[in-house]
Structure 1
Amino acid sequence: MNATAEAAFNRSERCPRDTRVAQLVFPVLYTGVFFAGFLLNTLALWVFTHIPSSSTFIVYLKTTLVADLIMTLTLPFKILSDSHLGPWQLRGFVCRFSAVIFYETMYVGIVLLGLIAFDRFLKIIRPFGKFFVQKPAFAKTVSALIWLLLFLMSLPNMILSNKEATPSSVKKCASLKSPLGLKWHQAVNYISQFIFWIVFVLMLLFYTVIAKKVYNSFRKSKSKDSRSNKKLEGKVFVVIAVFFICFAPFHFARIPYTQSQTNNKTDCKLQNQLFIAKETTLFLAATNICMDPLIYIFLCKKFTERLPCMRGKKTTASSQENHSSQTDNITLS
């Protein structure tokens, strides 16, 4: 196994990476995402400091916000490194630390979106129930375990990137990994894929049930207000929409890319093509830091009421309260 990994490492050094697109285009795009994400998430942080963690839903949203803020703070390192505006040592730091933290927070966010979907699912099937999984203490414990497990999974990727950093080797993060590091990186990739697809399948199941409940609620109320119906549908499905748009493309591209980095059979041209595909879909994943605030706005009534731009505006929800109390349980907390 070590011999195979060593051969992959040697081959990665012989295949120079075409970084022209990554150097010129993506830093500009990431800069826009960084500023937008920083503004949106610092605003969300201010709002959430005024909201008590009185429900599992709020706990999951706050934990998602922490993951997004940390991910946001890793972007300047990537921007400076990819654009070659920083010293080559910065690239080594990105490979060993900030990129690992970026991926860790990404998967924390993925699992939390699944938990948010699960919370909404429980809200509709047992709107007045109080299972132990619907208590804030449970949400806090699960959130802490998610952080701990993903940290323990990510830590070896930092430790095992222990090859000597040089101006040449830092061009490809795989070149910094030991033979065991390459194997661990490949294993983590498969574990990450497993996490994503399990969460994705469960979210589809949850939202199938939610969609049926929403449809039945509309039929019972015999609502003729199509605009209201469309607005509510958007609220119901915003979580899975964000999840699919941001994360699905990356997970289609990541496995072949990782395989190209950890074996000696992929030719150099294909390696560069897979690199561009990975970077493009990774950018979509990074836009999640700008899209998660949509979840706060659409699904969290307490968040919306605390927004400065909403002060002084009285919600009309009270006049519509009897229209469909069950659908309110799905979308707003």
Structure 2
Amino acid sequence: MAQENLTGVESSSTNCSTNIDDFRNQVYSTSYSLITLLGLVGNGFALVVLIRTHRQSSPFHIYMLNLAVSDLLCVMTLPLRVFYYVNKGKWTLGDFLCRLSSYALYVNLYCSIYFMAAMSVTRFLAIVFPVQNLRLMTENRARLVCLGIWVFICFSSSPFLMVGQKQDPGTKNFKCFEPPEPKGVQRLVMLNYLSLAIGFLLPFLVILLCYAGIIHALLSRKHTARRNRGSGTRAIRMIVIVLLTFLISFLPYHVQRTVHLNFLSRDDTTCSETVAMQKSVVVTLCLAAANSCFDPMLYFFSGEGFRNRLSSLHRNASNTGILLSEVMLIFCTSNQD
């Protein structure tokens, strides 16, 4: 999955008389602001619930926890992009933050895909092979899987740390998230196919196979005792949410990125085609970043006992409040005496 700036264009460098600077700045600044707000609130709340109820830990809980951390690390860097686009494409925050903000977005993108694949495998084993699941899916193994995902994604995305700010020779302003040089497009096309295969298609295939097995198992129980009906309902919810996330966030981005890199290698493109392609880059990258907003729905609607954890946390908070009230009442009464 080693890659340089595979998005192709996040800024509007074009020889056409018409450019998309205003469109890009408005869409990116608005979208990233909204994603930051929703992502921080949703994933921050989920992380608090998951940490406060860590005694109810399970392999699925561990994957949810790591997914929430990944999302939070990503959305915390999005304000840097908002500042850049509000500032009309002038980067004033230094080379390190430029590298970090690019790196964090793509680490989150592929960590999300792999953590969803791991959660799908866990749910598949729990429903299709419930006896073997007790032996295979332990908390320690889940932690090892998470560690492996973090190391693999962080290492394979490390080329983003090698691409920092650039100075525009005309305006002398520093730029970030710039398109690749024309001479490097062919290399990026090959790297994109590698990233597409390992970072997207492979885990997506695993997810689809797991879901096919889950649906088959649930249908076969239709005329039987229907054991574990609750786990089946959670599995159906997870299937819907994960597939929607892939269809809305991941699939459009990877298809458009592949088309765009091949488009850049052509010499017969027109001005209108170039502008349309650049606008599609803006839209699909915003959709890719929005995956951080979908994950809290995954925790709440399909998370293993997430709503029970939330209720438990609420009851504990209520009991604590009642206890404090009683202590204060006793204290006040003793002072009056």
Q: How far apart, in 2, do the equivalents of 1:156 and 1:39 lie? A: 30
Tell me how far 1:207 sits from its aligned partner. 0.8
Task: Name the residue aligned to 2:106.
Answer: 103
Percent identity, aligned pairs only? 25
Contact 1:53–1:59 (CA under 8 A) maintained in structure 2: no
**What's the RMSD between the two structures over aligned residues?**
3.6
Q: Report the secondary structure of 2:204's partner residue.
A: helix
Task: Name the residue aligned to 1:328.
Answer: none
- What residue ranges of structure 1 are gaps of 5+ in the alignment? 1-7, 223-228, 314-333
Q: How far apart, in 2, do the equivalents of 1:119 and 1:186 lie? A: 34
> Once structures 1 and 2 are overlaid, which stretch shifts more, 294-303 or 58-67?
294-303
Does residue 155 (structure 1) correspond to residue 155 (structure 2)? The answer is no
Contact 1:22–1:276 (CA under 8 A) maintained in structure 2: yes
Task: Name the residue aligned to 1:299.
Answer: 302
Task: Name the residue aligned to 1:250.
Answer: 253
Correspondence for 2:288 among 258, 265, 285: 285
Task: Name the residue aligned to 2:201.
Answer: 197
Correspondence for 2:221 among 217, 225, 231: 217
Q: How far apart, in 1, do the equivalents of 2:210 and 2:48 lie? A: 31
> Once structures 1 and 2 are overlaid, which stretch shifts more, 135-144 or 83-92?
83-92
After superposition, residues 174-185 of structure 1 pair within 5 angstroms as 174=179, 185=188
Q: 1:23 to 1:53 in 2, by over 3 A?
A: same
Amino acid at match of 1:215: L
Task: Name the residue aligned to 1:36.
Answer: 38
Contact 1:37–1:72 (CA under 8 A) maintained in structure 2: yes
Q: How far apart, in 2, do the equivalents of 1:102 and 1:237 lie? A: 24
Contact 1:114–1:199 (CA under 8 A) maintained in structure 2: yes
After superposition, residues 129-140 of structure 1 pair within 5 angstroms as 129-130=132-133, 133-140=136-143
Deviations 1:100-128 (A, max 9, x none): 22012111111111111111111112112
Task: Name the residue aligned to 1:75.
Answer: 78
Task: Name the residue aligned to 2:326.
Answer: none
> Once structures 1 and 2 are overlaid, which stretch shifts more, 297-306 or 266-275?
266-275
> Once structures 1 and 2 are overlaid, which stretch shifts more, 39-48 or 296-305?
296-305
Q: Report the secondary structure of 1:219's partner residue.
A: coil
TM-score normalised by structure 1 residue count: 0.75
Amino acid at match of 2:29: P
Q: Report the secondary structure of 1:209's partner residue.
A: helix
Does residue 241 (structure 1) correspond to residue 244 (structure 2)? The answer is yes
Q: 1:184 to 1:102 in 2, by over 3 A?
A: farther
Q: How far apart, in 2, do the equivalents of 1:61 and 1:231 lie? A: 14
Contact 2:124–2:214 (CA under 8 A) maintained in structure 1: yes
Correspondence for 1:141 among 139, 144, 154: 144
Q: How far apart, in 1, do the equivalents of 2:282 and 2:71 lie? A: 19
Paired residues, number: 299
- What residue ranges of structure 2 are gaps of 5+ in the alignment? 1-7, 227-231, 317-337
> Once structures 1 and 2 are overlaid, which stretch shifts more, 140-149 or 236-245?
236-245
Q: 1:148 to 1:123 in 2, by over 3 A?
A: same
Q: 1:100 to 1:53 in 2, by over 3 A?
A: farther
Task: Name the residue aligned to 2:331.
Answer: none
Tell me how far 1:132 sits from its aligned partner. 6.5
Task: Name the residue aligned to 1:173.
Answer: 178
Contact 1:133–1:139 (CA under 8 A) maintained in structure 2: no
Q: Report the secondary structure of 1:128's partner residue.
A: helix
Q: Report the secondary structure of 1:97's partner residue.
A: helix
Contact 2:165–2:174 (CA under 8 A) maintained in structure 1: no
Q: 1:288 to 1:309 in 2, by over 3 A?
A: farther
Q: 1:235 to 1:64 in 2, by over 3 A?
A: closer
Amino acid at match of 2:21: T
Tell me how far 1:236 sits from its aligned partner. 4.7
Contact 1:92–1:170 (CA under 8 A) maintained in structure 2: no
Contact 1:100–1:158 (CA under 8 A) maintained in structure 2: yes
Q: 1:238 to 1:163 in 2, by over 3 A?
A: closer
Contact 2:98–2:176 (CA under 8 A) maintained in structure 1: no
Q: Report the secondary structure of 1:205's partner residue.
A: helix
